[in-house]
Structure 1
Amino acid sequence: MASLKEVRGRIQSVSSTQQITKAMKMVAAAKLRRAQDNIMRMRPYAQRLNSILANLSQGNAEDSVTGEYGVVREVRRVLIIAVTSDRGLAGAFNSNIFKATNALIQERYADLAAAGNVRVMAIGRKAHDYFGRRGLLVGNHTNVFTNLSFDTVRVAAEEAMDAFRAGQYDQVVLVYNEFKNVATQIIRTEQLLPILPPEAPANAATTSNLDYIFEPSKEEIVLTLIPTSLKIQLYKAVLESNASEHGARMTAMDKATENAGELLKALKLTYNRGRQAAITNEILEIVGGAEALAASR
């Protein structure tokens, strides 16, 4: 059994840890509000952009896949963009991305991976470290969350787009956490390149009857929107991941604070029992000594 001094030291240590986790929870909650506002503003824009592409593609299915970003080739080399965080202490947030990426490689690209034709572009330091140790890493985008903005994400998107156009990769897949609520993050696996034909909106029958005047041509508009849409798609995924990270960290720190409280109760109970036992032993020793002294007289 641990001594009272050791138990007292553990109580102080757990109490300090509880204060840290409580502070981290509050910081994560403050950051989550900002990140949630950002993604809530981005979602309608991204959805509207996809809707515009769908409307422009009505009547000609090839418009949605024309140009160099829609070229479908035999899949021989694959690039996976894995979005994680820069820091840990967020529960299973990062490990879920690792598991999903590994599962994707094993289930869909096992033969290509065995031939060394699968590479991972890491957005976030945790993915950079994880896939770097496994020899799959390409590119360095660990500074995205330091100053999160469209410009910083655009660099990564353009790198993937240029590599696809140059024929370095035949397919680009995106793996990230989608923000649902504070306690729930959903792993999403989406094909970024070659671009898939956008889904027609629910009111396609209505919009297809409208007479549009295109200036410049319809083809030029589509080809201009496609690169922008790809960059927005990656930026939205990073914003989703950022909000999910803070939600996961807030949940993890809340649980850690509760666990620290339960551990403190157990330690204090153990300490009080040990102290009572020590006091009882001292009383018994005093009484025993007194009786021995009285008997010697």
Structure 2
Amino acid sequence: MANLKEVRNRIASVGSTQQITKAMKMVSAAKLKRATNAIVQLRPYANKLKELLANLSASLEDGASPYLQEREPVRVLVVVVSSNRGLAGAFNTNVIKTANTLIAEKYSKQLAAGNVSIVAIGKKSQEFYQRRKYNVIGNNNDLYLNLNFANASVITESIMEGFVKGKYDRVELVYNQFKNAAVQILVSEQLLPVPKTEPVADAKASQVDYILEPSQAEIVEQLIPKNIKIQLYKAVLDSNASEHGARMTAMDKATENAGDLLKALKLSYNQARQAAITTELTEIVSGAAALSGE
């Protein structure tokens, strides 16, 4: 009977866990809708701004803006966008693994010299790199408590200031790009200096004749900082939507697994109960037979 009690306790425990995972799935589904709306609304604007800026800055010299200056990447900053919470499958693990691969493949010499710094957006990435004694700059975990453009711009402005002052020669951005609730695309892209686009084969077809006022140089000078802020904000919104999608998918799978485990435990419980009843009946029949034999 002790075995039956143990199985009953496990059934109750798994049932409670299933209720929790089901509730977490519903919460993530509600948050996912809001996060998806935010990134879907921003993405066309961010992509068009990036395209417009690439068109305008193609003819400018490197010295036209401090954010276009190409330098030897002696000091590198990697911005890793993760989440504050776990229980989202491999969401955080994958983005950290991608950042580590980027550092190992492109900036191994800088890492050996201690010239790789990390800006972690999200508690999971910050804790990971702090435990491994990386140079982690600042604490940006509160951004998700009030995620908006103004708060994200504060982080971007500090990064831009560091680049202009020469603290970093290159800034890389690693995040999860949202595709749908079940699919997140890991993206690693250069944030600073602003990468120049490759010339298109059919240049006439891609060229747009803009009327510029006051001048091309002044407009680009204002657009480049804004574009950098928008690109980082888009990455954070992408990551936020991806996190809720990954958590919803993980909790859905966990709920399904808990259901399968409950079925197995109930079958095991019924088999053990049946065996105990059969044993008791056998003992009663054997005792009755022994008494009648006397």
Q: Into which bin does the TM-score normalised by the smaller protein fall?
A: over 0.9
CA separation in 2, counterparts of 1:162 and 1:263? 54
**SS at 1:19's partner residue?**
helix
Matched residue, 2:270: 272
The 1:8/1:72 distance shift into structure 2, 3 A limit, reads: same
C-alpha distance in 2 between matches for 1:155 and 1:165: 16
Aligned letter for 1:154? S
Q: Report the Cα distance in structure 2 between the residues aligned to 1:73 and 1:142, rounded to whole angstroms.
A: 30
Indicate the SS of the match to 1:16.
helix
> Cα 1:183–1:2, aligned 2, differ >3 Å: closer, same or farther?
farther
After the TM superposition, which of the residue ranges 117-126 and 198-207 deviates more from structure 2? 198-207
Q: Distance in 2 between matches of 1:161 and 1:275?
A: 69
Which stretches in structure 1 are left out of the alignment for 5+ residues? none
Deviation at 1:294, TM superposition (A): 1.7
The DSSP-based 3-state class of the residue aligned with 1:151 is: helix
Deviation readout 1:165-205 (Å, 9 max, x if unpaired): 11111100000000111111111000000111246789852
Residue 78 of structure 2 aligns to a residue whose secondary structure is strand
Residue 142 of structure 1 pairs with residue 156 of structure 2:
no
Deviation per residue, 1:106-164 (Å, 9 max, x gap)? 11111111111111100011111111111211111011111111111111111111111
CA contact (8 A) 1:100 1:187 kept: yes
Q: What is the alpha-carbon distance in structure 1 between the residues aligned to residue 17 and residue 197 of structure 2?
A: 49
Residue in 2 that maps onto 1:29: 29
Identity of aligned residues (%): 58
Determine if contact 1:51/1:201 at 8 Å carries over to the other structure: no
Which secondary structure state, in structure 1, belongs to the residue aligned with residue 146 of structure 2? coil
Asked if residue 108 in structure 1 is aligned to residue 106 in structure 2, the reply is yes
Looking at structure 2, the residues matched to 201 and 17 of structure 1 have their Cα atoms a distance apart, in angstroms, of: 55
TM-superposition CA deviations, 1:82-103 (whole Å, max 9, x none): 0000100000000001111111
- The 8 Å contact of residues 153 and 234 in structure 1, kept in 2 or not, is answered as yes
Q: 1:173 to 1:160 in 2, by over 3 A?
A: same
Q: Verify: 1:233 aligned to 2:237, yes or no.
A: no
Q: State how far apart, in whole Å, the 2-side matches of 1:113 and 1:209 are.
A: 42
Q: Which residue of 2 aligns with 1:81?
A: 79
SS in 1 for 2:87: coil
Match of 1:249? 247
SS of the aligned residue for 1:3 comes to helix
Residues 199, 242 of structure 1: alpha-carbon distance in 2 compared, 3 angstrom cutoff: farther
Q: Deviations over 1:213-269 (max 9, x none)?
A: 422221010010000000000000000000100110011001001100100010000
What displacement does 1:57 show? 3.1
How has the CA–CA distance of structure 1 residues 227 and 238 changed in structure 2, closer, same or farther, with 3 Å as cutoff? same
Cα distance in 2, alignment partners of residues 61 and 48 from structure 1: 19
Secondary structure of 2:141's aligned partner: coil
Gap regions ≥5 residues in structure 2: none
Aligned counterparts, 1:203-242, within 5 A: 205-206=204-205, 208=207, 210=209, 212-242=210-240
- Residue type at the aligned position of 2:144: F
* Aligned residue number for residue 55 of structure 2: 55
Q: Residues 157 and 255 (structure 1 numbering): CA distance in 2 closer, same or farther, change over 3 Å?
A: same
Instruction: Provide the aligned length of Structure 1 versus Structure 2.
Output: 293
